[in-house]
Structure 1
Amino acid sequence: MHTQLVNKNNSKLHKQLIREQIIRERKAFDEYQYQQANNKIYKNTLEVINNRCPKFFGNTKALGSNKHYIGLYWPLKGEPDLLRIAIVANSYIGLPKILETQQMIFAKYHLGDSVSQSLIPNLYQPTATFEVFPDIIIIPSLALSISGYRLGFGQGYYDRYLSIIKASNAVITVGVCFHQWLMEYIPYEIFDHKLDYVITDQYVIKT
């Protein structure tokens, strides 16, 4: 786990330096280590969905059996790949879709559905535009803090989405990243949303 010495008066600059460092490290990630760690994150994420979210899933072990939606994501290179949850969860999946208005929604997705290039380079999203409202959202992160704050690419799509959706819906938010990018502290601002769970290949943290 990284320990960061932070100048809290210059958090934007500090976050950008962390981003640049992690992106360099992700490019050098060994494929075997990636697969091993990815499998552990997958298992930890299923454990949280099945056992730690009784508000939405009760005692059931069958994902989607109560017709709740899980928000997943199309992984970029170097991110945890959790799309196989869509197999276990039957068809109750939503993936982020960025509209031409720069608004992000979650669009209904069945594994194998057509996808198209997003407005973000190298990122794909459902071609369909049927909007769904996930009860639990799995959020990819460059880094996570043990207190539940997330470092993304700095474009703010998830934070803007959560600001809107949390005003009218109860939603559980789960950040995922590889353990080497779990940090004691990440600078955050008033519009940054604290996540309910932090998951790495080594830890599951309820914040």
Structure 2
Amino acid sequence: MDFENIRNRSDEASSLEGHFLIAMPGMEDERFARSVVYVCAHSSSGAMGFIVNKAQPLSFGALLTQLEIVSDPDEIRLPGKGQEVPVCHGGPVERGRGFVLHSDDYDSDSTVVVEQGIALTPTLDILKAMSNGAGPSTALMVLGYAGWGAGQLEAEIAANGWLTCRAELDIVFDAELDNKYSRALGILGINPAFLTSEAGHA
């Protein structure tokens, strides 16, 4: 999916860039059950985002070792909150491809600012920088992404597959992945215990 092409066609008035998609109980696609998706690109040509609350079965240190960026996870020197970098299953598309969602205090030629406070870098350079303490202060590693064709996401929202709300960055970067679903619903004032598949979308 062409991330830049989607963003270039974005209509700011209707775009869901910088929003959460929160899966409803009636979500038909089991791959997205109880998912919170951060939308990075959305326009008339499609949408792209990352599931930010589903853990991958490996640590950030193990991933860097697997990629031969470090030989020993104990060598990693991460700044501040970066001491704990969650590794998430970002979605069903290109599951072997890695992306880093991060605070906007890191920049490179391949970095794209999604909104104030959050950026996206899809290259190994940021992982190398993070391993030696020169990366962003806050980050989330995702493997794979979620993609929708033209009109597909809008149809799913209309069918009550998703709730939508403006994303909060502290939820995006929260290392406690299990809390994100209820926290995202909390933005809308919804208690997960009372959420039904018939609820309307925001």
Alignment TM-score > 0.5, same fold: no
Q: Which has the higher contact order (CA 8 A, sep 6+)?
A: 2
**Relative to total residues, which structure has the larger strand share, 1 or 2?**
2
